[in-house]
Chains A and B, each alone.
Chain A
C-alpha cells in the first residue's frame, strides 16, 4: 500500500479557528504492520504479537501498539503544519486497534492565540476506527502564520 504525502510546510501555515486537517485513512491494519512496528521500534511486548498471551492479558487477540497509529497521526499532523512548528503533542489512547481495522485521521483548530510573540493554534485530533470507536484523542499546539 502506498500513500501520497504532501510536502511538509517549511514556514508556519495560516490557520484560523475551525480549519480542518486533510482527512486521511490507513489500513486495513495487518499483523504485518504490527510486526514491522516491533522491528522498527523494538517494542516486543508479546501482548502485541502473541495471540495466546494477548488473550491471557484479557484481550480478544493481538492489537497494534499505540505509538503505531500515534506515529501515523503525528506524521499527518507534521505534513499539515510542519514538524518544526509543533510545540507540543499529547496523545490519549482511548481504545485498541485490531487487525482488519481501517483507521481515519482527523483534526481541527479550536483556537488561535498570541503567546511570547508567536501565533499559536490549539488543535484537537483523533484516530477513529471504521466502527466509529475512537482509538486516540489528541491535542497539539502549533506555531502558525
Chain B
C-alpha cells in the first residue's frame, strides 16, 4: 500500500496506519449541522433525477429520504472565514487507503424529512475491519452509524453505512475475500 498522505479525492480524508485507523472503532463525532437547510430546489433537482413524481415533493414540503445521506457533504469551496474542517467523520479515520467506495447502506426512518429541516449529524465509527483484498483492491471496511436530527433535536433517521477504503494492488485472486465490492 502507498504511504503517501495526500488526499487526492479532495474529500478531506485523513491518513495513518491500519492500527491507528482500527483504534477509531467506538469514536463518535461532535454534532455537525448540515451546511444548508433542506430546501425545495434540492428536493426538486433530486426528484427530477430519480424521476419521482410524488406530489408530496413537487407540490408539498416533503423531502425524499435518499437526500438525507447527502447532507453531510461540505461545499467544495467556502470563503475562508466560513471554512469548517468537519468533513464526513468516516473519512477522518486515519488509514492508508487513497480511494473510497460505498459497500452497503441501511436506513431506518423515524419520520419523513421536510423542507426547512436543518439537519444535525452525529456519526459513530462502529467498526474498522482487518485488512482485506477484494476484486478492486486492498483496504478496510469502515462501518459507521449516522443519526440525523432536526434543529429541535427530533431524530429523523439513522443510517448504517459501510465504506471500503482501499488502494489498488496487483491482482492476486487467491487472497480475495467474498465481500463486496
B interface residues (Cβ-Cβ under 8 A, vs A): 8-11, 42, 45-46, 48-56, 64-67, 69-71, 73, 75-76, 98-109, 112, 136-137, 168, 180-181
Contacts and interface: CB of A to CB of B under 8 A. Distances in A.
A114 to B, nearest CB: 20
A68 B45 CA distance: 13
B126 to A, nearest CB: 15
Interface string A11-40: 000000000000000100000010011011
Contact of B51 (A3, A7, A53, A84): A3
Give the interface SS of chain A, mostly helix, strand, loop or mixed: mixed
Interface string A52-88: 0100111100000111101110110011000110111
A44 B46 contact: no
Contact of A45 (B9, B46, B181): B9
A1 to B, nearest CB: 8
A41 B8 CA distance: 20
A83 B180 contact: no
Contacts of B8: 46, 53
A74 B79 CA distance: 36
Contacts of A46: 8-10
Nearest to A74: B66
A127 to B, nearest CB: 12
Interface of A: 1-5, 7-8, 26, 33, 36-37, 39-47, 53, 56-59, 65-68, 70-72, 74-75, 78-79, 83-84, 86-96
A56 to B, nearest CB: 8
13 contacts: A7-B55, A40-B49, A44-B76, A56-B168, A58-B137, A59-B136, A67-B66, A70-B66, A72-B50, A74-B50, A88-B107, A90-B105, A95-B180
A68 B73 contact: no
Contacts of B109: 86
A8 B66 contact: no
Given A39-B45, A45-B100, A88 B70 contact: no
B79 to A, nearest CB: 18
A89 B109 CA distance: 9
Interface centre among A37, A83, A87 (most CB of B within 10 A): A83
